[in-house]
Chains A and B, each alone.
Chain A
Amino acid sequence: MTLANTQPATKEHDEPALSAQPVPTHPERRAAPRPSPRTWETPPVPVPAPHLDDYQAIVGAAELDELRFLAREVKGKTVKMVNSTAVGGGVAEMLNRLVPMLGELEVTTHWDVMTGGNDFFEVTKAFHNALHGSEYELTKAAREIFLAYNEQNRQRMQFPEDMVVIHDPQPAALIAARKDSHARWVWRCHIDLSNPNPQVWGLLRPFIEQYDAAIFSSQSFARQLPIPQYLFYPCIDPLSEKNKEIEESFVQKVCDEFGVDRTRPIVTQVSRFDRLKDPVGVVQAFKLARKYVDCQLVLAGGGASDDPEGAVVLKEVKEAAGDDRDIIILDLPPWCALEINALQRASTIVVQKSIKEGFGLTVTEALWKGKPTIAGAVGGIPNQIIHKLTGMLVHSVEGCAYQIRYLLTHPEFAAQLGRNGQAHVKENFLMTTNVRRWLLLLRILVRDRG
């Protein structure tokens, strides 16, 4: 892997900065001493990436043999991935695992990161929101900043590979380099384009049409384009800190530390404090459900310390929770993957009551852990949750409350949902499936072209 990053993004995919201790919602719990207070100031040392063989226990030898066969077919071909940030954010996280795995399969994959000043990342952040449907007036200055930094990067980068994959809108105009390259060019769009701002999409579209193919995360994100469009679901790594098997004693330790009582049912939502995740709606649903069933609610997320809107949402959530002893609100820094893993595993039910969603990888994580999951029927969530088969889809606070009650009082049905959900992730949303898709695409676009 080569990483040519002279000035990585500072804004686009930033994760929340450090946060303080978990925030209890009621005075009693706030006052209670914690047995082993954590120091959140220092992120842990990154764990080395696993090898392909490490996945055998999870997906089976036959699955890995198929990957190796597909890889043999494209051995010697080279790939370049270009995105806009080396650290933080789902794309970088995915590339951090994908690039070495393709390398292990002898498909040499280079990863270059777009460079740019804060003005560029401010513009592309606005583009990002506009492509998600926000109001935005595209100015001449914004257009020029976007094009100038793309041109600067085009001159800096070289594209001798067989396939070039450009991730998301920020580097989309690098397609201008195509005329000097023999590569097949692919645009990998990770964002929801179902309702894009017409001005921003109007700027991007002529570039996208020059690619050989586009990849989207959901059928509903695709656009009418004159190029082939493929569906690559986002994926999780079953061996990552957030998803790997962990010791039961660690799960207990985390619950003890956060004041979660494992003798009673636990309903959990893991999300940034963002209105689109509807944490206040989750509190309301929990309160409605608890009239009939005993349970606790854990809201674990981040984003309140560096994001002014996140802080406002956290305040709203705390107000909605009031002094309820059974609502535990945790504002965690982004490197608490193991703690999130433990909380998900300790949960009886996981909720993701989003109002708008990209794909919803927290749903994937919960399903992978075999948890009965209730989620809003938005974005890519219906690809993961087939109602009543792999989880429960809801459209309202009341619907969410009802499903919490139902699943807590029908544990066998809930367990079956959990088993189906886990199998669904194993078949469709794991990193190994993602590697398979990239190898297939390389074969289709490059090898079969001759």
Chain B
Amino acid sequence: MTTTAQPVLVRTPVKPFYFNTSAHLLRITTFKANTLAELLEALRVCPDDSIFQHAFRTLQEHHFIREGFSNDFAHWALAACNQPGLAEQLASVDVREFTSLSELRERFVQIVEKHLQLNPSEGARVADETFYFCASDIVIMPTNFVAGSMQDFAKGLREVSVHSIQHHFIEARLRLKLMSNDFSQWLHEDVGLTDAARALNRIDIYTATLEDVREQMVRIVERALT
């Protein structure tokens, strides 16, 4: 007797996917920088929440921009300090490569430290604008979307807010401590769609808006359904 693979369409997830979302309230901390040397000092001691805010949260606040915006430190280095080389280095830090804020902080510190070692005179030059370290108070909440099937999952992806996309796709790795995201984890572990999970995890968040990311995810899921 020959067996045929069960069509994906009727594949039932082991567990449903619960779409959550998060809301953030921006707090102004006491840390600020008027020079690159002050930025370095503050980067070393500011709260983890500030690293999260300026590297992760800013992606949502500026989710509609495709190019030229990756994190607030890079933006400040370019716009206020006129340091394109340093800005490029800072902008190349991909938050998806970090599963802890301390590692991410260390990476930013290393970049600024190295830049100032090579260009010591730039440390004390006063920037055009002050960099104010902020932080987020976060509330995580459920949405009305629960996916018990792949069709429901695709519908959820299409209809949840971009805040939910950011929560599951970008910020999840800090929770999971994995180089992955909630959607890919679910597709892999609970649906068995490992290729789709991988494809989803490869979507570039730095060259696409969050709406573009959403569209790409929907396309990947729809392909997996056919």
Contacts and interface: CB of A to CB of B under 8 A. Distances in A.
Interface of A: 60-63, 65-66, 69-70, 73, 216, 219-220, 222, 224, 228-231, 377, 382, 386-390, 419-420, 423-424, 426-428, 436-437, 440-441, 443-444
Given A70-B139, A386-B62, A424-B64, A436 B28 contact: no
A34 to B, nearest CB: 41
A229 B27 contact: yes
B75 A70 contact: no
Contacts, number: 88
7 contacts: A69-B141, A219-B132, A220-B132, A229-B27, A231-B27, A423-B64, A427-B64
Secondary structure class of chain B's binding surface, majority of residues? mixed
Interface string B56-88: 000011111100110000010001000000000
Nearest to A393: B79
Interface stretch (B4-12, B158-166, B186-194): B158-166
Given A62-B160, A65-B144, A389-B69, A441 B129 contact: no
A176 to B, nearest CB: 26
Contacts of A424: 62, 64
Contacts of A388: 68
Interface residues of B, number: 35
B26 interface: yes
A69 B209 CA distance: 26
Interface string B126-143: 000110101001010111
B30 interface: yes
A388 B137 CA distance: 30
Interface in B25-44: 25-28, 30
A201 B15 CA distance: 58
Given A62-B143, A427-B64, A428-B61, A436 B130 contact: no
Contacts of B25: 230, 437, 440-441, 444
A71 B160 CA distance: 18
Contacts of B30: 224
Nearest to A219: B132
Contacts of A382: 129
A275 B129 CA distance: 23
B14 interface: no
Given A219-B132, A420-B65, A230 B26 contact: yes
